[in-house]
Amino acid sequence: EAGVTQFPSHSVIEKGQTVTLRCDPISGHDNLYWYRRVMGKEIKFLLHFVKESKQDESGMPNNRFLAERTGGTYSTLKVQPAELEDSGVYFCASSGYSLLSYNEQFFGPGTRLTVL
């Protein structure tokens, strides 16, 4: 079974440009999460989708970040316009849903974003 995949693996853009990150969760997982680690800091939660709905977007830093999950499958995270402080590694995770067990989150390998 394929794991969580993310594209691209690396992205280098200039300040002010737009970048779109993509995440493909494990097939059948309704829950999809975005996290990021900026340089020297801890991994921080950004937002959580349940299917196509935003369940919790309390971690989104500002309105330059837009996440979508049309159709409840893959998700995109757009940064527009990108700023220097947006540089870091963006992780996506997915989990299933069961009332009987812990729904561990499966993480993708991350997208390393560098804003120059």
**Least distance to another protein from the beta carbon of 91, Å?**
5
Tokens of 45: 């939660």
**Least distance to another protein from the beta carbon of 60, Å?**
12
71-108 in b/e burial notation, b at 16+ Cβ within 10 A? eeebbebebeebeeebbbbbbbbbbeeeeeeeeebbbb
**Least distance to another protein from the beta carbon of 15, Å?**
25
Residues that bind another protein (CB under 8 A): 4, 31, 33, 35, 42-45, 48, 50, 55-56, 59, 91, 93, 95-97, 102-110
